[in-house]
Amino acid sequence: MSEYNPFAIAQAQLDEAAERLGLDQATHEFLRWPMREYHFTLPLRMDSGTTKIFKGYRVQYNNARGPTKGGLRWHPDETIDTVRALAAWMTWKTSVVDIPLGGGKGGITCNPKELSEGEKERLARAYIRAVGRELGVHRDVPAPDVYTTPQIMAWMMDEYETMVGHSHPGMITGKPICIGGSQGRGDATARGGVYCVRETAKHLDMDIAKATYAIQGFGNAGQFAATLHSEILGGGTLVAASDSRGGVMNKNGLDQAALVRHKLETGSVANFPGSKPISNEDLLELEVDVLYPAALEGSITSKNADNIKAKIVCELANGPTTPEADKVLFEKGIYILPDFLANAGGVTVSYFEQVQNTYNYYWSLEDVHSQLDRKMTDAFNAVLEMSKKAKAHNRLVAYMVAVSRVAEACKMRGWV
C-alpha cells in the first residue's frame, strides 16, 4: 500500500465528522464503505492488431439520497482505493450542495496519451459493455473526469443506447451539446469555486477585486479559474500558474487569456513570455490572497502546510489537502474551501444536464449560471452556519453538513 492512500483519508475524514455528529456505530460503519463496487477486465484490440488488457472499476458508494453520480477517470495510476475515495467524496459533494443524488466513481487504469482515437473509442465502448447493466438515469450516471472528454461520453452513450435499444441521453453527463449536453458544463467546476471565493470574501470583508491569486494545475478547471476569477469577481491579479510540466510566475500579473492560449497551443504553461519559472511546490507557498489547488490529490501535506501563506484556499482538485495539513491551515487562520464544496459546480451542472435530458427541455446559459450560483451560495451558507456552531476547520464542518443529510436518508429508509 502506498504512503498516500486517498480512501484511508476519506474514511478518516468521515470518522471525525461521525464523532462530532454523535452518529451511532451502525450508521458510522455503514457510511465508511461503498455499498457496491465492480471490477472489470477489459480486452482491447490495439491498432497494431495485438490485444492489450486493461483494468476498470465502478464504485457506487451510497444511493440513499438518489441515484449514484460520478466521473470516469482514465489515468495510468488509477487504483480501486482512489476510485473508492472519490466515490465517497462524491457522496458528500452531492449532499452538501443538496441535490437528490448519491455518490459514485469509475475509472480505467490506462494512459490515454498513448492511445489513438480509435483505441479510445473501443475502450470506451468496452467499459460500457462491462458496466452498462448497472447504469441508468435512475441507477448510476457517469460523467467526465481526469483525461475523459465529451467525445468519450458520446461514445459511451451511443454504446449504452445500442444495448438498451432506445434513446437514453440522461444515462451519462458531460456530453457534447448537440446530443444532449448542457450549456455551462465546461466551466462549471471553476465557476462554482469562484462563486464560493466571492462568498468567502464577503464573509471575511476582503476586497476581492484587488486580490492576487495563483493556480496549481492548469487543466480544465485551472484554465477556467484563471479567467473566471477576474470576470466574476471584478478584478484580481494572477501571479502564478503551473502544470505537470512546469510553472510560471510574474508578481505584476500574468495575462490570463494569453496564458490559456499558450497552454492550449504548447501543452504547458512553461516558457510563457514575460514570466519566470516556478516549481509546483514553490507556487503553493506563494504569498497570495487566493490559492487554487487544481491538480491531483495530496498537494498540501504536513510537510508544506506550515509554509502556505494564502488567505483563502479554494480546492478545485479532489483531495489536495491531507487531514494533518487541514489542522495546520486551520490553526494558521487560512480559510479553506474544501474540495467537495468548492468543486461541486461540476456535479451540480451535470445534475442540471440529467434533469434537462429527463424532461427533454433545455435551459439557456443564463439559466444554468443563475441556478448554479444559487446552489453554490446556499451550500456555502449552510457550511458557514454549521461552522458557527461546530468551531472546527471547514472540511470537518462541510462533512458534518453532508454526512448528517446522508445519515438521515439512510435512517428514514430503515437501512440502519
- Residues with a catalytic annotation lie at 105
Cα separation, 68 vs 141, whole angstroms: 6
Taken as a whole, the chain contains a residue count of: 416
Q: Kindly report the CA angle at 289 between 288 and 293, in degrees rounded to 5? A: 75
SS (H, E, C) the chain: CCCCCHHHHHHHHHHHHHHHHCCCHHHHHHHCCCCEEEEEEEEEECCCCCEEEEEEEEEEEECCCCCEEEEEEEECCCCHHHHHHHHHHHHHHHHHCCCCCEEEEEEEECCHHHCCHHHHHHHHHHHHHHHHHHCECCCEEEEECCCCCHHHHHHHHHHHHHHHCCCCHHHCCCCCHHHCCCCCCCCHHHHHHHHHHHHHHHHHCCCHHHCEEEEECCCHHHHHHHHHHHHHHCCCEEEEEEECCEEEECCCCCCHHHHHHHHHHHCCCCCCCCCEECCHHHHHCCCCCEEEECCCCCCECCCCHHHCCCCEEECCCCCCECHHHHHHHHHCCCEEECHHHHCCHHHHHHHHHHHHHHHCCCCCHHHHHHHHHHHHHHHHHHHHHHHHHHCCCHHHHHHHHHHHHHHHHHHHHCCC
